[in-house]
Amino acid sequence: MMITMLGNSSGILFLPQLLQWGASSTTVAVLLNTYMVSRRLAGTVTATLTKEFGFRRVAMTGALLTATCLTLTAFATSPHYFFVSFSLGCGKSRL
């Protein structure tokens, strides 16, 4: 549920910081859309992992990856670091 809320409100949460770094609207769009695409791609793997390892292990792994990536995003100092930690990291941690 946290991931769903994060996806819907990521623009509100991160837009002021991205604008403070001087990121253009194109950069912001690429960052947030990459997050959504990587989230959808990770969802295709989730069913296979759930069948193999069980839903509890997959859910706990996803929660730990999300918490780690959000912690790294909190210390982001540039849009490039934000891209790696949030767009790719949090997007792929949707297990």
**pTM score of the predicted model:** 0.76
Across 7-22, average pLDDT: 76
Domain that holds residue 47: 26-92
Q: What is the dihedral of CA 69, 41, 43, 52, to 10 degrees?
A: -90
> For residue 95, what pLDDT is reported?
57
Residue 12 lies in a domain: no
Report if residue 70 sits inside a domain.
yes
Residue 34 has pLDDT above 60, yes or no: yes
Number of structural domains found in the chain: 1
**CA pair distance 63, 66, nearest whole angstrom:** 5
Rounded distance, CA 27 to CA 61, Å? Answer: 30
CA torsion, ordered 87, 66, 55, 41, to nearest 10 deg: 0
Is there a domain that residue 3 lies in? no
pLDDT number for residue 56: 93
Domain-located, residue 66: yes
Decide if 69 is inside a domain. yes
